[in-house]
């Protein structure tokens, strides 16, 4: 099913919105689909829906020549790349060596409303919402079979875009299919109101989505349950009121479906054969294909930006051989100390140079490598400094080439929801509901996979906020979740946890708490009189 999305995204899609009469025009080119022709052929619905899916991971209609939003480098400011930067290099898990405008600000938590990555993600998510609004509006006028399922998927994707806008920017402009498409100034929605909208929308479409595990990589009921669980997980951040039992309920629905299981090998989640059902853990992901979705985006970006010519050569660690070793992203030593229990592994001595890949660590989730030096002397120091990460690979998890192998582009899907997150979200909910025995059981399910046996199991008394936060880091590093988790636990801007170059300090320091939320981009506040800037950024 991976090719459902990937084989159709390059068929050009044109939503005509200028005037009603235009909708009766037949397309001159059969490869173009116009809004008024959406119901002419069931394949058109597939192709139009695929455009919305693709908008989260690709630049546009095709690599190097069809970006939906103009940019000097059309790959640089795609949704997934910008989202990953905001969620990862603003934290302990990553830091980027590149000198491009805006990156240093994210590395050190010193961004302003003019940061280009903020603008890019804000515009990209807004564009995905526009695509979904128009699709829903036009699809509702057809009588195509499975119309309700298609519309439900578009509504899910719109809800996901709004979730990230709510999480990152708090109070974005708000539109639905009822607003149509045209030139007007959208009204701003408050974060708590957007929370309620997302929850209501996901519950409303549940009955029209496909059964769990039947349409991967499209969204199904389980994907909606996972987004609901994640939304409820952060409810106190978004609304001021915790909803732990609601989070648990939707995690339970995923388990009760009986469709998913933890992959036997942790690495399969980040390998070319990580798609469901080959990988029983993957619930929802951005589909990536080395032949049909080429671009320096998605997991190709993660692999190449994390590789270098000396310490983590892409051709050695990942199987790619063209345009490799960008030497940008790596981790900070503070995260290494979370992932690798150096005291248990090495005793009261520094990490020895004869174990650069931490092979003695008992936790099988360690895909790190020491570089020239553990400490990073400046925020923009060479990528040779810090802790290398090679978690994602373009090879299958057994080391063989992908069936759709390309030397420059990965075929590894980027995980959005996988079953390990269901376990750890429910564990956090149980912990906050006062049942550490059940929380312990869920955490140990994940840790037994990581350790290969019960040697890494914990007891109920060890289930603390700090342990849960650290366990999520060990399980989900480089999966664009870290900032959200740190905010939820009060450790992103202030708190007791500091990492190297946090707040532009070598040893790390706290920053203003208003930076738990990013600013509305300056271009938006200047253009739309209905938008007020987030507190602290005026």
Return d(Cα 442, Cα 445) in angstroms, integer. 5
- Tokens at 458, concatenated: 């914990």
Between 309 and 15, the higher pLDDT residue: 309
| pLDDT score recorded for residue 3 | 45
Cα–Cα dist 27/36, whole Å:
9
User: If you write DSSP's letter for every residue of 97-121 in order, what string do you get?
Assistant: ----TTHHHHHTT---TT-HHHHHH
Four-point Cα dihedral 126, 127, 131, 133, nearest 10 = 20
Q: Half-sphere exposure (CA, 13 Å, Cβ side) for 234?
A: 29
Distant-in-sequence, close-in-space partners of 416: CB < 8 Å, separation ≥ 6 = 160, 223, 283, 284, 285, 286
Distance CA 17, CA 525 (A): 25
DSSP-derived 3-state class of residue 393: coil
DSSP letter assigned to residue 349? S
Token pair belonging to 347: 């005793």
pLDDT number for residue 39: 61
Using one digit for the tens of pLDDT, what is the confidence trace for 132-168? 999 999 999 988 889 999 999 999 999 999 999 999 9
Residues in contact with 488: Cβ distance below 8 Å, sequence separation at least 6, in sequence order: 233, 234, 236, 237
Per-residue pLDDT reduced to its tens digit, 262-313: 999 999 999 999 999 999 999 999 999 999 888 899 999 999 999 999 999 9
Q: At 16, is the pLDDT very low, low, confident or very high (cuts 50, 70, 90)?
A: very low
- What contacts 471, CB < 8 A, 6 or more positions away? 424, 443, 446, 447
Q: How far apart, in whole angstroms, are the C-alpha atoms of residue 306 and residue 165?
A: 27
Report the alpha-carbon distance of residue 424 to residue 446 in Å, rounded.
Answer: 8
| Tally of helices (H runs) and strands (E runs) in the chain | 19, 10
Q: What is the pLDDT of residues 332-349, one digit of tens each?
A: 999 999 999 877 788 777
Q: Which residues contact 124 (CB under 8 A, 6 or more apart)?
A: 55, 56, 68, 69, 77, 78, 79, 82
How far is the C-alpha of 402 from the C-alpha of 390, rounded, in Å?
A: 17
- Among 278, 272, 289, 276, which Cα is nearest to 402's? 272
**Alpha-carbon distance 100 to 32, whole Å?**
36
The DSSP string of 397-426 is TTSPPPTT--SSS--PPEEEEEHHHHHHHH
pLDDT the model gives residue 211: 98
pTM beyond 0.85, yes or no: yes
Task: Tell me if the bond preceding 278 is cis, omega within 30° of 0.
Answer: no
Q: pLDDT tens-digit profile of 349-385?
A: 777 778 899 999 999 999 999 999 999 999 999 999 9
Strands 33-34 vs 13-14: parallel, antiparallel or unpaired: parallel
Confidence of residue 470 (pLDDT cuts 50, 70, 90): very high
Q: Are strands 95-96 and 33-34 parallel, antiparallel or unpaired?
A: unpaired
Torsion-angle region of residue 218: left (phi > 0), alpha (psi -120 to 50) or beta? beta
Q: How confident is the model at residue 42 (pLDDT cuts 50, 70, 90)?
A: low
Average pLDDT of the chain?
A: 90
In Å, how far are 80, 129, 160, 174, 422 from 125, measured between CA atoms?
10, 6, 9, 12, 25
- Asked if 494 contacts 511 with a C-beta cutoff of 8 angstroms, the reply is yes
Cα–Cα distance for residue pair 413/80, rounded to 1 Å: 12
Residues 6+ apart with CB under 8 A from 325: 304, 307, 308, 309, 313, 314
Which residues are within 8 A (CB) of 303 and not within 5 positions of it... i.e. 6 or more apart? 314, 318, 320, 392, 393, 394, 410, 412
What are the residues whose beta carbons fall under 8 Å from the beta carbon of 368, sequence distance 6 or more?
331, 336, 339, 340, 357, 358, 387, 388, 389, 390
Q: What is the pLDDT of residue 399?
A: 94
């Amino acid at each position: 099913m991976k090719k459902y999305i990937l084989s159709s995204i390059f068929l050009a899609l044109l939503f005509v919105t200028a005037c009603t009469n235009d909708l009766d025009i037949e397309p001159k080119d059969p490869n173009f689909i116009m809004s008024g022709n959406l119901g002419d052929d069931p394949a058109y619905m597939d192709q139009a829906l695929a455009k919305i899916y693709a908008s989260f991971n690709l630049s546009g209609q095709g690599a190097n020549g069809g970006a939906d939003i103009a940019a000097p480098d059309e790959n640089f400011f795609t949704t997934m790349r910008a989202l990953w930067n905001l969620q990862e290099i603003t934290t302990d898990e990553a830091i980027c060596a590149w000198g491009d405008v805006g990156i240093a600000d994210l590395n050190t938590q010193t961004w302003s409303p003019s940061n280009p990555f903020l603008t890019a993600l804000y515009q990209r998510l807004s564009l995905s919402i526009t695509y979904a609004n128009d699709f829903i509006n036009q699809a509702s006028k057809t009588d195509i079979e499975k119309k309700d399922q298609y519309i439900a998927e578009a509504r899910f994707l719109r809800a996901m875009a709004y979730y990230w806008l709510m999480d990152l920017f708090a109070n974005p402009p708000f539109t639905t299919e009822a607003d149509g498409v045209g030139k007007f100034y959208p009204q701003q929605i408050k974060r708590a109101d957007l929370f309620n909208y997302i929850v209501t929308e996901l519950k409303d479409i549940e009955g029209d989505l496909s059964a769990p595990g039947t349409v991967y990589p499209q969204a199904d009921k389980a994907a909606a349950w996972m987004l609901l669980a994640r939304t409820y997980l952060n409810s106190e951040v978004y609304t001021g009121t915790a909803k732990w039992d609601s989070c648990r309920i939707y995690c339970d629905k995923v388990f009760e479906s009986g469709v998913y299981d933890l992959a036997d090998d942790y690495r399969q989640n980040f390998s070319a054969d990580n798609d469901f059902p080959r990988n029983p853990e993957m619930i929802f992901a951005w589909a990536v294909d080395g032949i049909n979705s080429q671009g320096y985006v998605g997991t190709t970006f993660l692999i190449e930006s994390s590789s270098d010519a000396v310490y983590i050569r892409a051709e050695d660690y990942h199987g790619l051989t063209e345009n490799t070793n960008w030497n940008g992203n790596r981790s900070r030593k503070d995260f290494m100390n979370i992932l690798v229990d150096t005291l248990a592994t090495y005793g009261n001595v520094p990490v020895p140079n004869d174990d650069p890949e931490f092979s003695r660590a008992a936790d099988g989730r360690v895909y790190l490598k020491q570089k020239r030096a553990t400490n990073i002397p400046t925020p923009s120091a060479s990528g040779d400094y810090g802790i290398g990460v090679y978690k994602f690979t373009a090879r299958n998890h057994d080391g063989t080439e992908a069936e759709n192998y390309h030397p420059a582009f990965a075929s590894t899907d980027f995980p959005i929801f996988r079953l390990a997150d269901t376990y750890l979200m429910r564990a956090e909910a149980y912990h906050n509901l006062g049942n550490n025995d059940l929380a312990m059981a869920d955490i140990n399910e994940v840790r037994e996979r990581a350790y290969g046996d019960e040697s890494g199991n914990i007891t109920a008394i060890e289930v603390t906020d700090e342990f849960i936060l650290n366990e999520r880091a060990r399980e989900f590093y480089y999966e664009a979740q870290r900032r959200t988790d740190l905010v939820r636990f009060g450790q992103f801007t202030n708190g007791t946890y500091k990492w190297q170059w946090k707040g532009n300090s070598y040893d790390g320091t706290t920053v203003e708490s208003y930076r738990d939320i990013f600013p509305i981009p300056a271009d938006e506040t200047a253009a739309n009189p209905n938008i007020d800037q987030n507190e602290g950024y005026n």
